[in-house]
Amino acid sequence: MRILLLLFGLTSLGISGFGQHVHCGTDQFVDAQIENNKEKAELIYSVPDAILNYSGNSHGKKAVVTIPVVFHVIHEYGPENISKAQILDQMRILNEDFRRRNADTSKTRAIFKSIAVDCEIEFKMATKDPAGNCTDGITRTVSSLTNGGDEEAKQLIIWDQSKYLNIWVVKTIGRAANILGYAVLPTSNDKSGDGIILRASYVGSIGTGSAEYAGRTLTHEIGHYLGLWHPFQDAQRDANGDPISDCGNSNCQRSGDWICDTPPVLSASFGCNTSKNSCTNDSPDLLDQIENFMDYADGNCANMFTRDQRTRMLGYLNNSGAFGRASHISAATATATGINISNPCAPKADFHVKDLQTIVCEGQPLEFIDMSWNGDVVDRIWTFEGGSPSSSTFQNPTVTYNTSGTYKVTLKVINAQGSSEITKTEFIEVQGLVAELASPFLETFQSPFSEFTWKKETIGAYGWERLDNTGYDKSLSVVCNVDEETPIGSQYSLTSPNFDLSLHKDLSPVLSFRTAYSMRQSGSAGERVVIYGSNDCGETWRVLKSLIGITTLSSTNQFIPNWAPTSNSDWKLQIVNLDQSDFAASTNLILRFEVTTNAGNAVYIDDINVDRNVLSTRNKRLDATQFNLVPNPSEGQFKVQLNAQNETINIDVLGVLGQKVQTLNVTPDADGRVNQEISVYQSGLYFIRVHGKTLDFTKKIVITK
């Protein structure tokens, strides 16, 4: 076994040096596996003698080997949920590239034509899953891990790696924003996620596939999966990892990718520079082989594998040892995966709505999209609770909901092989044209129903959460968790309940709130917060204000990593005029706070106030001894008791989701006391909110029947 002298984290040679051009993350993945462990490095950066000495394909044409493939699409019903047609287009490209049947072979320069070969490797979609069930070679899994989940995303679904080439399709890769995919090498010390992960926008050349890369990203990554390295991989190093030569030496097994007919390259090739010759000490001295699929040239420039690359890949495919992939091409594997049979499947039902808009106003039409998979749909039956029409057989029907409420939707899909059905309960939320919450409204995140009425977007450890003991006046607040590891450009939204502003339509209503934020380091613009408004139940949004970290968002003059507010002076008052367009008279205003990350610090928000005046002092909080619900639990009748002094108050009875069940306007007696009897006739958990000019408090009550 021979070891590449590319140790001690030197794989970053293939990553960090190329800035935003980088598109392969295999080296970076290997770096993470090595973790400065020389023994692991020697294992991964090795070429077994059986592979080095393999010559089974050096003379004459051999039988074509076929690898079973499964695509695992991890999605959130967005554009990353790519079509079967796009995946089949990618399969076409793979088979053309590996059999040298690609239309652009004519672009191979004369100096390399004699070594540009048919690799005699093909790929077929599996027609049987590991349990022997029918499949079209594509699985679809709904998960937020499509957003940079990487190795975690792989563990959502993985088929027997000794039989299938697993390809995971995701929206983004978390290792870096400019990585398009990465593969696990045959010599990897950890094959728990063996296969390839690939961004959806670089699968194939149709649909959402990138025209620039022309489906060649997966061709490149499968090269890694079958044991190939980058031609710029191995600048020769000494035992300490120090460079001896930037271009290796004349011995082809110690230069570039350790393959003799791919000239060593000083650095990755970008674009399509046909005159580039970055290494002149190779023998014979050849131009850089930019058309090689394992370099970084544009997809429309790459067009070939070499004879020795074919030998290397077939060596791994015909080796049954620890580093081999022979099980992929065995007769038993072909039978188990069904690659040699036609096996049409029953469809698996799935659907969503256009633009993922599941919250609508009364009377607002919705277009449903049939996203069923695994088999062609011949017939379908939709059922829409509360909708008009209440049923349909169209592929993508339009439905109108005229009454507020929450409704389920069912889809059944059928073909000659069978049928399946899916029901999504509480799927469509229809809101009234007039919101139940009327301004003035103060949200300090003290009330338990805040957890329900505010929609908080999170992905893993990042995004919004309610925070105890950190807020204005050291109470509660919400925070958008961000740090230096958060992918730059990630967006996390905090969305309010609906407000009726009509009482303030002639009084120039305003939104005020407090932010706490510190820059992580100088030289950065910091995070950005954009405040949006919608008065059509979220169908369209308008920008109300934008806050930039370094200027209008930052509430300190410091640069402190992982900063958090500790006093009222750390909070900054922000004011947004709501007298814009028709928002001032809106009966159904929704607010959205959207943070765009820049690898900085968390953003804190508190004291959100919708009123005709800017909030100057926060409302008083009643002590538990001043505010009582008697009895609690109750069988349906109870009293609200408190000392409101001389202030007229509102008492709201709120359901568990924050919806208003009833409201009373109450005037205290001569002594300033309130002793109001309330009746609730349906059992369950409720929140009783008392609020007025200076008072705002909420308690839970349980109604038993």
Q: Which residues are catalytic?
A: 221
Considering only CA atoms, give the Rg of the chain.
31
Between CA 191 and CA 185 the distance in angstroms is 9
Single out the residue of 555, 663, 536 nearest to residue 603, CA to CA. Answer: 555
Instruction: Return all residues near 24 (Cβ < 8 A) that are at least 6 apart.
Output: 14, 179, 180, 181, 182, 217, 220, 221, 224, 230, 296
Count the alpha carbons within 13 Å of 481 in the hemisphere toward its beta carbon. 13
Alpha carbon separation from 363 to 205, 360, 430 (Å, rounded): 40, 8, 9
d(C-alpha 678, C-alpha 696), whole Å: 18
Cα–Cα distance between 505 and 437 in angstroms, integer?
15
Check if the beta carbon of residue 413 is closer than 8 Å to that of residue 428.
no
**Two tokens at 603?**
């953003």
- Distance CA(256)–CA(279), nearest Å, equals 10
Q: Token pair 């077994």 is at which residue?
A: 48
Asked if residues 486 and 492 have their Cβ atoms less than 8 Å apart, the reply is: no
Residue 95, C-beta contacts closer than 8 angstroms, at least 6 positions apart: 101, 122, 123
Is residue 444 within 8 Å of residue 475, measured between CB atoms?
A: yes
Q: What are phi and psi for residue 373, nearest 5 degrees?
A: -145, 175
**Residues 467 and 396 sit within 8 Å (Cβ to Cβ):** no
Instruction: Give the C-alpha separation, 453 to 661, whole Å.
Output: 14
* Euclidean distance between CA atoms 212 and 626, whole angstroms: 68
Angle, nearest 10°, between helix axes 84-98 and 216-225?
A: 60
**495, 605 in Cβ contact below 8 A?**
no
d(CA 137, CA 629): 60
Give strand pairing partners of 72: 139, 168
Q: Name 510's bridge partners.
A: 577, 611
Dihedral over Cα of 133, 138, 142, 148: its sign: positive
